[in-house]
Amino acid sequence: MTRESESGLPIEPVYGPETLDGWRAEEKLGEPGAFPYTRGVHPTMYTGRPWTMRQYAGFGTATESNARYKQLIADGTAGLSVAFDLPTQMGHDSDAPIASGEVGKVGVAIDSIDDMRVLFGGIPLGEVSTSMTINAPAALLLLLYQLVAEEQGVPAEKLTGTIQNDVLKEYIARGTYIFPPKPSLRLIADIFKYCKAEIPKWNTISISGYHMAEAGASPAQEIAFTLADGIEYVRTAVAAGMDVDDFAPRLSFFFVARTTILEEVAKFRAARRIWAKVMKEEFGAKNPKSLMLRFHTQTAGVQLTAQQPEVNLVRVAVQGLGAVLGGTQSLHTNSFDEAIALPTDRSARLALRTQQVLAYETDVTATVDPFAGSYVVEKMTDDVEAAALELMLRVEDLGGAVEAIERGFQKSEIERSAYRIALETDSGDRVVVGVNRFRLGAEEPYEPLRVDPAIEARQAARLAKLRAERDQGAVDSALAELKRAAEGTANVLHPMKDALRERATVGEVCDALREVWGAYVPTDAF
């Protein structure tokens, strides 16, 4: 009996040579590290060195998160990945009425340069790679990071890392947007230009399908809508006067890894192939690095369960293996208790150890592209690619990613996929171990990590002290200069940096831009 993949594509019981009739390996595959990069973006992949092992962390205050980062580095993490709380993601200070009850809950609260100094205190920023999951206010957090690095004596050209900076997916699937699409895209183009001149090794955007997948997108939808967003960002930068090869090598992507290993491997291979062709054929990119789809992967948080949470250790290991077999450049493995609360030190360490076992105890790093030539994977790669290209064409027919977003197309498609998954789970057609099959009569108690609710008051006190100590005239002058830049065509990052140096807060800077650009209000669904 034929099964269906997560994308609703058929999975045959047996695959053989006839499956790939007329299939040309030289066109579909190429060599590892060569166009169309189906087999990976580097010739040696993990035979030279393993992927970057990142662990996503951040909670409560900057002091608490700093301690977690130092512990992760001591445990062997090669790169940091920062989670920010919702007020920071939405451009509000911790003492704003709208922030009440959310300070420090799903990430660390960063209100000003004072918090950023504490967050990275004792961490040599010239020696670590830092990824920051921040979108609408990405420019602010990047500039705060640069300012702290300067205080450490680290020149900007030595800084390495990534800002997510992908606001289009916020309109589609996540909701932490601030400004309307047009000024948001202008801000992203300003970041591209600023980093080319000031922070050349920084990855200026991580175009994310992960959050679409968490909202219910199928693998084909995940890569289709993510690559469509990527095309929109490239068009924006080119329209702003940049040469494609000046910024495209610093673009990166962010995908999920589900438990369905075969389709996930096929998805990653298809995404690389599509992107390489788009960059070459539509944008005329000549630098090979402009054609390479480099990506970070996070294991699927949405597939973790609060029931029998230890089973999540197995799920995460399987998901991480899929990401590695698919050729990811960096990986975050979720902690087994994340369906319950923020991960504890012990569970975060276990998640990192999962990656270390994959890297050092298995043989998947001994050869480049272990699945190359597999009948099933090659056929599934072709199938996912075709399904994704069909969706991308529908986005183009609507006028591109922004026009499609404003008509609610991507959101509507993802909601249909999520509804299908929910129906299959409720009916038992989709087995979720511990939830609709193999349940326990009574769950064993588990003590989760809890965030101290007093954090909100402490952050408010820090803000009151900051406002009392700083030169308010200098802050007001810097914010006025920022608004003038936002009203015109100058790069807003330069006056923004000046304002943050004068200890303007994240909320104040975002409010200054809200005054000029307005705030986004979503439209009805497609």
Per-residue pLDDT of the chain (526 residues; tens, 9 = 90+): 578 999 999 999 999 988 887 778 777 888 999 999 999 999 999 999 999 998 888 888 999 999 999 998 999 887 898 999 999 999 999 999 999 999 999 999 999 999 999 999 999 999 999 999 999 999 999 999 999 999 999 999 999 999 999 999 999 999 999 999 999 999 999 999 999 999 999 999 999 999 999 999 999 999 999 999 999 999 999 999 999 999 999 999 999 999 999 999 999 999 999 999 999 999 999 999 999 999 999 999 999 999 999 999 999 999 999 999 999 999 999 999 999 988 888 999 999 999 999 999 999 999 999 999 999 999 999 999 999 999 999 999 999 999 999 999 999 999 999 999 999 999 999 999 999 999 998 877 877 777 788 999 999 999 999 999 999 999 999 999 999 999 999 999 999 999 999 999 999 999 999 999 999 988 765 5
Q: Give the single-character DSSP code of 121.
A: T
Q: Which two three-digit tokens encode residue 306? A: 């609060």
Within a domain: 451: no
Which structural domain, as residue segments, surrounds residue 481?
A: 467-517
What count of residues does the chain have?
526
pTM summary value: 0.93
**One domain for residues 11 and 160:** yes
**One domain for residues 363 and 483:** no
Number of folded domains that form the chain: 2
**One domain for residues 408 and 496:** no
**One domain for residues 390 and 479:** no
**DSSP β-bridge partners for residue 162:** 131, 203
**One domain for residues 473 and 347:** no
**One domain for residues 483 and 395:** no
**One domain for residues 486 and 402:** no
Please list, residue by residue across 353-379, b when 16 or more beta carbons sit within 10 angstroms of its beta carbon and e when fewer do.
ebbeebbeeeeebeebbbbbebbbbbb
- Return the H-helix or E-strand segment holding 205: strand 205-208
**One domain for residues 202 and 263:** yes
Among residues 403, 427, 451, the one where a domain terminates is: 427
**One domain for residues 363 and 240:** yes
Within a domain: 460: no
Report the 3 state secondary structure along 455-513.
HHHHHHHHHHHHHHHCCHHHHHHHHHHHHHHHHCCCCCHHHHHHHHHCCCCHHHHHHHH
Within a domain: 337: yes
Within a domain: 358: yes
**One domain for residues 133 and 268:** yes
Within a domain: 441: no
Within a domain: 238: yes
Among residues 404, 427, 450, the one where a domain terminates is: 427
Within a domain: 117: yes
Give the CATH number for residue 335: 3.20.20.240
Among residues 402, 427, 452, the one where a domain terminates is: 427
**One domain for residues 292 and 390:** yes
Q: Are 293 and 326 in contact (CB under 8 A)?
A: no
**One domain for residues 227 and 350:** yes
Within a domain: 19: yes
What is the C-alpha separation between 195 and 177, in angstroms, rounded?
Answer: 22
